[in-house]
Structure 1
């Protein structure tokens, strides 16, 4: 028997309790194992928990198989260390697929060039093509344009309902649609060996992503073609978005103070609402989770992460009076003691009741569910929250804040270097290739393959000798524009990072695009290096605050 689970399930103690001597596991297989490493192109916090020590302790596992098609030297080392895989047990094959023809062309009008590609050899005669886009709205727009031009296409992205996504995949696999226009969400678990072509509508974020997506083509071993439409505007936009996960040390310090506040007792269930906390500190929800995970599995274990719950519960009584029920039920007695009355109903925080009763939140919900089935009450839950238990308080909160901020900055810089390497490859192909080793026209298979091999064999962070980022390191009007921006928005409280994000057109929890994209300065300095904009914002904020404006 084979059991498929997501790594998020390892947060659930009840799930882990299923396993043991009564249900032995002979083998654990970790697919997409590069996600274990924070240096990978597709890092996920939940994968950080997949350590050999945890798998052996919780599941009594002795045999672990990890698989990935896109691990750099550094990522590979992280996987091997985390899963305690002996170096002699490492099997490596080339990232290069010899049956793929790789081509790149400059594009000033991607939609027009995409249509030209699809209506010209070799793509015109293909039955199965994937067009990869960066944004969900873009997939729908491109798909509509193709359909309007008599090309049988469907869009696919994570914003669609599961039923619709499954239907698109089913139609594509049975060759009933010719083109799928998709985000990176398409391809995971795709069982179709005869995809003949892959077109990248925008620049991928890394060479790993490029290999993953071009690798959807030609799995039957037949000659297949992959084309990238390249433009520098996409590079600027994606590079800006790469700074959306960063945290200033000030915000990190405030967040850690909330996690370890004196009101949070060691050994008790603590929680904070995801959405409001994200807005309060201007930190994305997934980054909050990354920090919590690091506090659990880092060199020092400061906390134990619990499953996510909606922690605010509103209780409605239907038959017996609350007091009479509370006299017979100790849980309800605790709930009434911890509740506030709002519009005739009882509102309470689930962790407070669980701590008072010395039970888990699951046990609280189980007992409420039984009362609901009896018809005595109903309840509503809101405020999805991250939940945890404090195991140890940091000796030096400032040092911990500095270390975590530095670590996240290094992860961000790694992501940016990967994008820069992808840009360098594309730029070299269209601008620098001498076409002496078999490259011709837009077809650059030899030079692309060589650069891919070099990338995966060298150490992380080694610069490309022939590459210089096109980002500007200064701008004549940057400081004066920031000054005008601060003066015209004096009602808001900005950090240097918040100002820099607005100047780069990056949405954040506290300053969302829905509100701030209307601003005159939104995205104006996308082509200026982000750290340069941050430093300019720092200087202007110091002057602004000093004047008491």
Structure 2
């Protein structure tokens, strides 16, 4: 069957969206390709349809578990067999999926990028025929991108190891620079990089300046002034989501909060409510929106400034997917810039912290394992940054990562130990009894240290884990794995550890600078005397032939005037109190940590020292990070 026949017969779709057929033709011709389509542009069809025509396995890498589930459910309804392997599956479920792949029942497999750190998975995939290796959110591979994920840098290396016949990179937010990065890494020829138009004429990009005290009133005023419709209000902080949702509800709107701090069940309930309602308003952090299949979103409001033009374009792209007019309103408050800058500046560790971590790694034996949590706490570096540094070391071929494992298991029995043991005989019963004796009881849960249990019983860790998994599958207990440890092999040692650490720290500082530049690009978008939509299109490599006619500049003929907040002095009395406190905490001796403390930015070191419990923590949140840091250096 031809791609057009497959599209109609298996997907029930009459015609391809722009760019889809061109990408699919490249793949079916044996070429690697890139699909840069706007949010809602139909990127997923570019690998789902070829998966039905290519002889081997199509492997799809996606960081979004919820999106994997949604796509698999949709494929299942069409009678297309697909599966996923992620951290939510038990060992038995993962094994069953792999067996279905080996039998040829499944030809489309979704996995998270971190799955390639699992040696057993890598070995299994390397023995299979991989026709297509597709990477969603491919901009994450670029350090120039807005959402760099270190594990993405290793994907091309694995695609080569498993002899993938062709690669597909998919993204909605690639600037020309990021697309060049993607094509270089994936070895994609220019003609096979398919970029469709970024411009969507049904989106009206509006912007208004506002002060912090007046922001709620302005948002409510605009909601009242416009016809009701499904709306998303994006905020930066979880507590802001809660507060704004409460104020909107009090003003008579059907509004609910959504953020990563909610329980899974509550988040799912809010998503379902939003999807099924006609005029819902969800006030959300950026955690909301990925995989939301709702075509009639009429409004997207940015209550706080987005972190980048890439974030902004993704978020407004969720509106008006039905092709009808939609309004995207950016509430520009100068005070937001300081908060976002402080976040960016607060993430970068000190040069001393990076040096401490690197020295520690190269003191390890050839085979070693570490906890990212412990490394983060010990060296005062946030876990994601620790992860980034380890990937840099791996890409430099200093270390090689193996399969992570859990150090501790907790279980809650559904019956007594005696009743569990009655299910077994002979050596298996004796083995299981010896394992259960090593468990330490709390209130209703038991905790089992695998390292100690293995030493005492003489049984390999893998056998103990398989036994616990079996008991959980038999509903004899509920099992939780805890304490992830990452395995590594030390390949070689540098001649100059200090120089290597300095090089790595310089990479982190460069990334920090790029994050700050992205914030300025957001402000520039609304303060320049030109069409907002045209500027945004130009950022993503598209030129509009004429102004959009619907953005704030096109309607008013005037750019927004952004007032620069006057620099505020640090109160001398407060500074003297802070200096006295600085003498009590060793962690505060570092200018960077002292600045973090006063800005209210947590760090592993501050948390460990419990310094964030002090009354002065966050006492200078209204002062720019750089101003405090310069004074802390004196």
Q: TM-score, length-normalised on structure 2?
A: 0.68
2:190 corresponds to 1:87: yes
1:48 positional shift? 2.3
Q: 1:403 matched to which residue of 2? A: 503
* Cα drift, residue 17 of structure 1: 3.4
Q: Secondary structure at the match of 1:485?
A: helix
Offset of residue 482 of structure 1: 5.0
**Correspondence 1:350 to 2:451:** yes
- How far off its partner does 1:457 sit? 4.5
Assess if the C-alpha contact under 8 Å between 2:335 and 2:565 holds in 1.
Answer: no
Residue 283 of structure 2 corresponds to residue 181 of structure 1: yes
Structure 1 residue 192: Cα displacement: 1.6
**Number of equivalenced pairs:** 493
Higher RCO structure, 1 or 2 (CA under 8 Å, sep 6+): 1
Partners of 2:231 and 2:297 within 8 A in 1: yes
Q: Is the Cα contact below 8 Å between 2:116 and 2:158 reproduced in 1?
A: no
Once residues 536 and 94 of structure 1 are traced to their aligned partners in structure 2, the CA distance between those partners, rounded to angstroms, is 48
Alignment of 1:507 with 2:591, yes or no, is: no
| Residue in structure 2 matching 1:141, options 228, 243, 248 | 243
User: Which of 475, 490, 498 is the aligned partner of 2:583?
Assistant: 490
Counterpart-to-counterpart distance in 1, 2:141 and 2:123: 23
Deviation, 1:342, is: 12
What residue number does 2:125 align with? 19
CA distance in 1, matches of 2:563, 2:592: 21
Q: Deviation digits for residues 441-486 of structure 1, max 9, x if unmatched?
A: xxxxx6212322343349xxxxxxx9999588x8765899656422
> Does the residue aligned with 1:407 lie in a helix, a strand or coil?
helix
Aligned equivalent of 1:166: 268
The residue number in structure 2 matching 1:56 is 160
Structure 2 match to 1:278: 376
| Normalised TM-score (structure 1) | 0.78
Shift of 1:307: 4.2
Unaligned runs of 5+ in 1: 434-445, 459-465, 540-549
* 1:130 alignment partner, SS class: strand
Of the three residues 194, 200, 221, the one matched with 1:97 is 200
Q: 1-side partners of 2:479 and 2:524: how far apart?
A: 56
Three-state SS of the structure 2 residue aligned to 1:511 is helix
What is the match of residue 56 of structure 2?
Answer: none
1:520 alignment partner, SS class: coil
Deviation at 1:63, TM superposition (A): 1.4
The 8 Å contact of residues 585 and 611 in structure 2, kept in 1 or not, is answered as no
Matches within 5 A, 1:376-391: 382-391=482-491
Aligned to 1:420: 520
CA distance in 2, matches of 1:67, 1:420: 27
1:221 aligns with 2:314: no
**2:545 maps to 1:447:** no
Separation in structure 1 between the aligned mates of residue 294 and residue 348 of structure 2, nearest angstrom? 38
Q: Is the 8 A contact 2:206 2:328 kept in 1?
A: yes
Q: CA deviation at 1:368?
A: 6.1
Matching residue within 312, 336, 346 for 1:244: 346
> CA separation of 1:482/1:308 partners in 2, compared to 1, >3 Å: closer, same or farther?
farther
Question: Which deviations, in whole Å up to 9, do the C-alpha atoms of 1:240-286 show, x marking residues without a partner?
Answer: 0112220111111111222222xx321x24223x3343222221111
Deviations 1:101-153 (A, max 9, x none): 111111222111111111002xxx23211111111222122112222222112
**SS of the counterpart of 1:102?**
strand
Name the structure 2 match of 1:545.
none
Cα deviation code 1:139-187 (max 9, x no counterpart):
1221122222221122222222333323322222223552122111111
Q: 1:381: how far off?
A: 6.1
Match of 1:305 among 361, 384, 401: 401
> 2:141 — aligned with what?
36
Unaligned residue ranges in structure 2 (runs of 5+)? 1-80, 82-107, 543-559
Q: Does 1:287 align with 2:385?
A: yes
Cα distance in 1 for residues equivalent to 2:472 and 2:205:
60
Residue 24 of structure 1 and its aligned partner are, at CA, apart by: 2.7
CA contact (8 A) 1:318 1:376 kept: no
CA contact (8 A) 2:345 2:625 kept: no
